[in-house]
Structure 1
Amino acid sequence: MSKAKRKKPHDPAKAHDRRPRDLLRNAEVATVEVDNPLALDPGEKIVALRSIRNDPLARLHSHHQIDEAQYQGGRAFQSDWEKAERGPRAVDPTREYVDGGQMREPITEGQRKAVLRLNRAERELGADGSALVHDVLVHGMTMDQIGQRRGLRTQRWRDYFSRRFCECLDRLALIYGFATQKR
């Protein structure tokens, strides 16, 4: 005859695990600690899952291949790129219809500052470094894809692109103020 199992006492610390249990079959996620939006005390953290499938920067950060300063520098570059990018806009049905051409929207101060920061980053990274950073952070390419695009398919070139990308992230962390210069 088997023993009856005892129930463990209720632990309130484990009451709110907000991570999903039913992920898709092809989901690629990593755990990350974020501020609790439902917290009563400021600074309270919870563990959440973030998708890393189409985000090479988050993948490198979750696998501890880059540090926090490099990650924040890459995110700042992506933020500036999104602010500065001016391309085709979707039709806004809430705006008044006007017959004829559409007047260009004026450049905002935030866009101007983002362009200045991007220009400085491009000068400091150089032509090859800025192309590499642009391919990874804007287009979301992997090192294999970058090597294939340039016709360099060996493991040695992939390792070179990886090391060069980490150097570029170090430089971006310095430019955006997330790291200090080593002496």
Structure 2
Amino acid sequence: MPAPSKKLKLRPVLVENPFHSRAHLADTTNPRDVVAMMNVRESAITTMAARGVLDAAQVAAATRFRALWEAMGGKGAGAIDYGREHVDGGKARDPITEREVNAGKELARCRALLGVRMYGLVSAVCGEGFALTELLASKRERLTAADMLRMGLDDLAAMWRLATRR
């Protein structure tokens, strides 16, 4: 059996019970929420949330941004390659789906709201999963970037009406 990874750090969290039946009263045999183990180091966002650096609205905005980023397939949707020929009865895939187009439009709204520099930071941390220590060398730069990231996530939460405070 291999040695456990030192990077894995589990923490119990309360999540919605997928087996909860709304047809019956919630009690010990039918709980609404159950305890699950979460890897705190799964991403920079979960690490910052576990340390109390991000609030619930900022985490929700980061999660939504990540979902949009992943819907786009990472950096962006692929362009049509007219030079490629489909052979052997292979199915031609539409190069850009409607889901990717909608995600791209929403990410364009995010970029217009945040600006180029802050959008780059949010996409690197929330979309690509980089930690601030991987992006920046000095502690002062990381602290400033964390402040900027929180401000950007606050703006996104307000745009998507996820903000819980003002």
Contact 2:122 2:149 in 1 (8 A): yes
**Which residue in 2 is equivalent to 1:37?**
18
Instruction: Please identify the structure whose Cα radius of gyration is greater.
Output: 1
Q: CA RMSD in A?
A: 2.6
**Structure 1 residues 36 and 117, CA gap change in structure 2 (3 angstroms):** same
Matched, 1:177 2:166: no
- The Cα shift of 1:47 comes to 1.3
One of 62, 66, 69 as aligned partner of 1:74? 62
| Distance in 1 between residues matched to 2:32 and 2:91, nearest whole Å | 48
| Distance in 2 between residues matched to 1:81 and 1:155, nearest whole Å | 28
Q: How does the TM-score come out when normalised to structure 1?
A: 0.69
Contact 1:60 1:66 in 2 (8 A): yes
**Which residue in 2 is equivalent to 1:47?**
35
Unaligned runs of 5+ in 1: 1-22, 88-96, 148-152
- The Cα shift of 1:54 comes to 3.1
Q: How does the TM-score come out when normalised to structure 2?
A: 0.76
Counting aligned pairs with the same residue, the percent is 27
**Structure 1 residues 103 and 39, CA gap change in structure 2 (3 angstroms):** closer
How is 1:1-183 mapped onto 2 (pairs within 5 angstroms)? 24=4, 26=6, 27-40=8-21, 41=26, 44-85=32-73, 86=77, 98-99=87-88, 103-105=92-94, 107-147=96-136, 153-179=137-163, 182=166
What SS is found at the alignment partner of 1:79?
helix
What SS is found at the alignment partner of 1:48?
strand
| Distance in 2 between residues matched to 1:59 and 1:28, nearest whole Å | 10
Unaligned runs of 5+ in 2: 79-85
Aligned residues: 146
